[in-house]
Structures are given as structure tokens and as C-alpha cells.
Amino acid sequence: MSEARYKRILLKVSGEGLCATGNKGLDIDEIDWLAKEILKARDLGAQVAVVVGGGNIVRGVELSKRGVTAPTADYMGMLATVINSLALQDVLEKHGAAVRVATAISVHSVAEPYIRRRVLAHLEKGRIVILAAGTGNPHVTTDTAAALRATELGCEVILKATKVDGVYTGDPNKDAKAVKIEKLSYMDVLNQRLKVMDSTAISMCMEYHIPIIVFNLKSAGNIARVVQGESIGTMIS
């Protein structure tokens, strides 16, 4: 295997990446598959930080629409990301990986607090770090948390893992004429209101010159291919 082009990456995985398509909750087979894909990137020599969403368990936005106070709903969503992070950590460890969960809210019995210098030390020692609970603040998405952590940790790229193989001119599941876009600028995403990541995350990546690669998580070997520098998915820079 060739060496990694990107030496330190931040992988953003939605909560749906931990369950079968169309389902909710946790699917250990899906998590095991994800763990093996992450390890392929690690084995190339890349330092790997992972931000996992919580939508497979709780969606704060949906709860707030149904009457739950918005900050409370968001904190519930943060706790869902902790659950997902612990599940991914456990499966990765069963494959022999050294893994730490660092959380932005205090859950000291099950995970260590997010401390930037400590996380950097873990990465430099070859440990995979799963960053849980977003930023620890309500009204902030896990996309924005991923962008913030990437800037803090000096990540060279954000890998945005999705269900499709890039950004399209329309919904490829509904529009047969939808065409994949190979490259976009940050301003293209903002001006066209493309639903790649929220505008705060895109703006932060633009300010700190962190490219975003949108790709299909469910295609075997894709994380490793991106880390090696192969041109797959859509590059936003």
C-alpha cells in the first residue's frame, strides 16, 4: 500500500453511518464495517480523528419541533453522539486499535474530556481519537464541530462521509439527469446553498484553508483511497 498523502485527517460520519440504510439505532455489523475502513486509513500512516453524529438515535432539531426545548434537545443529541462514539471505540479496540473518546461535555466515567493538547498527543502516538458531543454547546451542529476540531488539531483535510459519491446538481436518487460535480469552491457551496455542511462549517474551513472531500462511505476502501490522494467524490476548496 502506498503512503498517505494526508498525514492527519478528520473523518466526519453521520449517525446513519452506524446503522443500516433506512434504519435507526446501532447496527454492530455496520459499525464493524466502518471500523475496518477506518483502520485501512490508519494503516497507511494517517493520524485519524473522527467526529460522529447522533441522528441514528436522537435528532435535536426534530425533537425541538415537537415541543422539547431547543437547548435540551441539542444536549440529548450530544449524548447520542457519546453513545455512538463508545460503540465505535469498542469495535475498533476489538480489532486491536488504540482508541480514545474525547468528549466536549463531562461524562468522566466513560470518556475523557476534550483537551486539545491531550488529543494531539494521542494522535501523534498513533491512537485513533473519536471526538464526541460536538462543541458542547447547543445550536451548533456536528458539522461545525468537525470544522472547529479540524482547525484546532491541524488536520489537513475533512473527509465528509455520505451515502452518495459526491455533490450532485440534484438529488441523484430522484433526478436521473443529476450530474456529479468534481470540484467546488467554498463560495460555490455558500452561494448555491448546497446542503454539504452548514454555512458556519463551510465558512470556517474557508477561513482556515481546510479542504473538504465529500465521498461515499459505503464503497469499500474509499476512506483509504481519499487518504492516498485519489480523486474520488467532490473536492471543496
- What confidence tens digit (pLDDT) does each residue in 116-152 have? 999 999 999 999 999 999 999 999 999 999 999 999 9
CB-facing half-sphere around the CA of 19: CA atoms within 13 A: 14
78 neighbors 45 (Cβ within 8 angstroms) = no
pLDDT band at 2 (very low <50, low <70, confident <90, very high): low
Secondary-structure breakdown of the chain: helix, strand, coil percentages, each rounded to the nearest 5: 40, 20, 40
Grouping H, G, I as helix, E, B as strand and the rest as coil, residue 116 is: helix
Distance, CA of 21 to CA of 182 (rounded, Å): 25
Q: What is the mean pLDDT of residues 37-50?
A: 96
Q: Please, is 144 exposed, middle or buried when counting C-beta atoms within 10 Å of its C-beta (0-12, 13-18, 19+)?
A: buried
The model's pTM: 0.94
Distance, CA of 40 to CA of 95 (rounded, Å): 12
Distance, CA of 172 to CA of 5 (rounded, Å): 30
From residue 192, alpha-carbon distances to 189, 196, 234 in Å are 5, 11, 15
**Domains recognised in the chain with CATH numbers:** 8-236 (3.40.1160.10)
216 neighbors 163 (Cβ within 8 angstroms) = yes
Strands 212-216 and 234-236: antiparallel
Q: What is the mean pLDDT of residues 6-27?
A: 91
The pLDDT of residue 36 is above 80: yes
Model confidence over 78-99: pLDDT tens digits?
999 999 999 999 999 999 999 9
> Residue 29 forms beta bridges with which residues?
none
Distance, CA of 12 to CA of 143 (rounded, Å): 7
**Which tops the pLDDT comparison, 65 or 146?**
146
> Residue 72 forms beta bridges with which residues?
none
Distance, CA of 89 to CA of 35 (rounded, Å): 9
Alpha helix segments (H runs only) across the chain: 28-43, 60-65, 70-94, 116-124, 142-153, 186-191, 199-208, 222-227
Fill in the amino acid letter for 204: M
- Residue 138 has φ and ψ, to the nearest 5°, of -70, 165
Q: What is the pLDDT of residue 164?
A: 86
Fill in the amino acid letter for 130: I
Q: Please, is 207 exposed, middle or buried when counting C-beta atoms within 10 Å of its C-beta (0-12, 13-18, 19+)?
A: exposed
